[in-house]
Structure 1
C-alpha cells in the first residue's frame, strides 16, 4: 500500500500509538536513570564512609600507642585516662567493625581487620605490663618495653593489617563506584537515544500529516477554481490517492459528470421544444389567417345570394386548408406530449442523482467532523506530553538542588570531601543537561500544538467548503424543481392545445356541413350566416388563446436555455 493511499484516520492512530509507546519507554528509562543516579550517590556515600571508618581504625591504633608511650615518658595520668577512655568508652575500632557488618562489607575485609585486632590485643598486653611496671616505679623497664623492637614488630603488624584493610576497602569502594557510574552512563545514553527517537517520530509524523493537509488544500484549490469558472462542467479534480481526499475528489467528479449529462440532455430537449413551439406558432398563425378568410367568405355570403356558390366553393377550399392545418397542429401536439414525457423521465433521473449527491455530501460533512475530532484529540495528547515534560524538568531541578546540597556538604568536609565535590558537580551538570533536554521537549511540543491548531483550522475550512458545496447542490435541486414546475405547466398547455384543436376540428366539420347545405337551404341563409359568424368568432378567440399560450411556452423555453447556458458543457 502506498503512503498516499493510507487513510488519515489510520495514519493518526498509528502516529499516536508510536508516540505513546515512545513516551512510555522514555518515562520508564527516566525512572531507571533516576534510580541509577541515586545508586551512584549512595555508592559515593558508602565510599566516603568506608574511608572514614578505615581512617578511624588507623587513628585509634596510633592514638593508643601514642597515649601509652606519652604516659610512660611523662607519667602524666591524663594520657593514661585517654588510653583507657579509648579502650573502654570510645572504642573506635570496635564501632568501625560493627558499622562494617551493618553495611554488609565483604567478610574478607572484616577478617583482615580482625587480625589487626588480635595483634592489638597482644600489643595491649605489653602496654599493660609497661604501665604496671611504671606504677611499681620501674620507669626504665616500662619505657624499654614501649620502645623496643618487640613492641615495634607488633605495631608494624597492626599497621600492615590496617593498611591492607584500607587498600582492600578503597579498591572495593572504587569498584562499586565504577560499576554504578557505568550503569548510570549506559542508562543516560539509552534515554538520549529514546529522546532522539521521539524527535524523529514527531518529525516524521508532522511530515506525513503535512502531506495529507497539502492534498486537502490542493483539492480545495481545484474546487475553488471550478466554482469560480461560472459553471464549467468540463473540469475535473485530479485523483492522486485512495484516501479520504481521493474519495472526495472522485465523488465530486462523478457528481460533475452526472450534472454535465443532465444539463446536456435538458439543453437538447429545450432546443427541440423551442423548434416545435416555433412550428406551432406558425401553424396557429395560419389558422388565424384561415379564420379571417372564412369571415370574409361569410360576409360575402351575406352580401348576396348571387355570390353564394362562389363563396361556398371558396369556403370549402379554406375549410379544407384549415382542416389540414388542424391536423398538423394535432400531430405537433402529440410530438410535444412525447417530448414532455421524455423530459419528465430525465427530470426524475436528475432528482435521483441529486439525492445520491446530497447523501454523499452529507457523508463528506460527517467525515470532516470526524477528522476535526481526531485532530483535537491529537492536540490534547500534545498537552499531556507537555505536562510530562514539565514533570521531567521538575525532577531535574530537584536533582540539581540535591547536587548543590552535596557540594556544600563536601565543602564542609574540607580536603576529604574534594572527590565528593567533583561528583556533586558532575551530578549538577547532568541535572542541568536534563533541564535543557526538557526545554527542548517543550519546544517540540509547542510546535506540535501550533501545527495541531493549524490542522484544526484547516479542517474547519474544509468543513466550510463542504457546506458551500452542499448549498450549491441544494441550489441545483431548487433549479431542477423549477424545471419540473415549468414542465408541468408545459404539459397543461399541451393538454389545452389538444382540447382547442379538437374543438377546431369539430367546428371544421360543422363549417363543411354548412357549406355543403348552403345551396339547398337558401331560405335559411341568413340564420346560417349568423351561426357561421358566431362559430368563426369562437374559433378566433380559441386561436388567440392558443397563440398566447404558445408565446408563454416559447418564453419558458428561452428561460430554460438561459439557465442551462450558465453551465459550460
Structure 2
C-alpha cells in the first residue's frame, strides 16, 4: 500500500518557505502593533526636517529680497506652496506673535495657550494630536528669529516706537496623510517580501528537484539490489558527487561489491558441500556393507562359542564322573581389560558422528581381537588338557600293569595273598575306568580343538574385514579433512596358568582348573559376541542416521543454492566492487 504524504520536494519547499511566511506574518502583526508610534515618529521627523529646510530657504530668500518688500509675501507663499506639493501634503505657515501672516492651509487654526508657552520656553514644539483646525493633525512649531526692531507705520498714530516681534514657522500634516504614506511604505515592504518568497520558492524547487532526482536514481539502484540484480555498476556521475547523495551512491556501490562477493562465496560453498555430501554418502554405503560382513562373522563366532560351551559342559560332566579320583580343583584366570580412549568431538555434527563411529568401530575391533585371543587361549588350554589326558592314560596303563603284577604275586602267595588280590582287582578296575574316561575326554578335546581352529580362522577373516573397514573409514575421515586422535588400543595380557604336577591329584586339579577356564572363556565369548552384535546394530542405526542427515544436508545445500541463484551474479568472475573511501567527501558550507 502506497503511503500518502508530501514528497521530499514539498518538504524542502516547506522548510524554506515556512520561516519566510512566519517572518511576514510576524512583521504584519508587529507593524499593526506599533503603527501609532511609527506614524508619530514619521510625522515628527518629516515636519522637523521640512520646517528646518523651509527656515533656511525663507531666511535666504528674505535676505535676497530685502530691498523689495512689496513682492516678499508673494514669494514666500510660492515657496511654501511648491514645498507642500513636493513633501506630499505638509502645510506651511509663517506666524508673527501667534497670528498667521502667510499660510498654505485652507483652514483656520489657532495656537493654544500651553503650546504657546512651550514655544516661548523651548523655541520649538511638536503636537501629535492637534484638532484646532477641525481634523487631527501633526503640527510642529519653530521660531525662525529672535526679538527684532521693526518700524510700524500707522495712519492713526503720529509717533513711532520700537517693539519686539516673535516670528514662527508652522508645519502641519493630517493623520490620514501620514497613515497613507506609512501604508504605502508597508505595502512596498510586503511586496518586496512576497517577491523574495517567490524567488526563494523557485530556487528551492529547482534545487530540491535536482536532489530528489538524484535520490530517485539511488532508490532505483536499491530496488535493483532488492530484485537480485548485482551485475551492474553505478554511473560515475553518482559516485563522484561530493554531497550526501554521492556518499549514499558510494555506499551502495560498496554494498553491491561486498554483497556480490558474499553471494559468490556462498555459491562456491554450496557446490563444495554438494560434492562433499555425495562422497560422504558413498563412504557410508561402504561402511554399511562392511557392517553386514561383520554381523555375519559375529554370528559365526556366536555359534562357535555356543558349541564350545556345550562341549565344555560335556567335559565337565565327564570330569564329575571322575570325582572319586580327582579331589580338588582350583583355577585362576585374569579377565580381559578393555579400554578405549574417547575422541574429542569436533565443532560440526557430522564430525561428532564420525567420532562416534570411530569409537564403535574401535570397540568392535577390540571385541573381535578379544574373541580371537580368547579362542586362541581356549585352543591352548585344550592342548594342555590333551596332554593331561595322555598323562592320565599312561598312569592308568601303568596302574593296570601294577595291578596285574599284584594279582600274580597274590596267586603265588596262596591263601595269604587273597586280600591283596582283591585290592589289585579293584585297582585294575579303577585304572580301566580312568583309561576309558580319559579316552572320552581325549575325543571331546580333539573336537573342541577342531572347532577352536575353525573359530580362529573365522576371527582372522573377520580381522581382515575389520582392517579393510578401518582403511575405508580412514579414507572417509581424510575426505572430511578432520584428523582426530588415533584409536589407542588397550594392551591385553593374559597370565598363563603355571601348575606343577607332582602326582595324580595335581593332575586332577589342572584338569578341573582348565575346565573352569574353558567354561569362563565360553561364557565370555558368548557375552562378547552378544555385545558385539548389539554394538553392530547400534552402529548400523548410527550409519542410517548419518545417511538421513546426509540427505537433509543435500536438500539444505539445494535450498541454499536455489536462494543464491535468485541473485544475478557472474559466479565465474565474481565482481568484488571497487574500494570506496571510508570517509566520503562532504561539500563545504560555501
TM class, shorter-length: 0.3 to 0.5
The structure that is helix-richer by fraction is: 1
The structure that is strand-richer by fraction is: 2
Per the normalisation by structure 1, the TM-score is 0.37
Whose Rg is larger?
A: 2
Per the normalisation by structure 2, the TM-score is 0.36
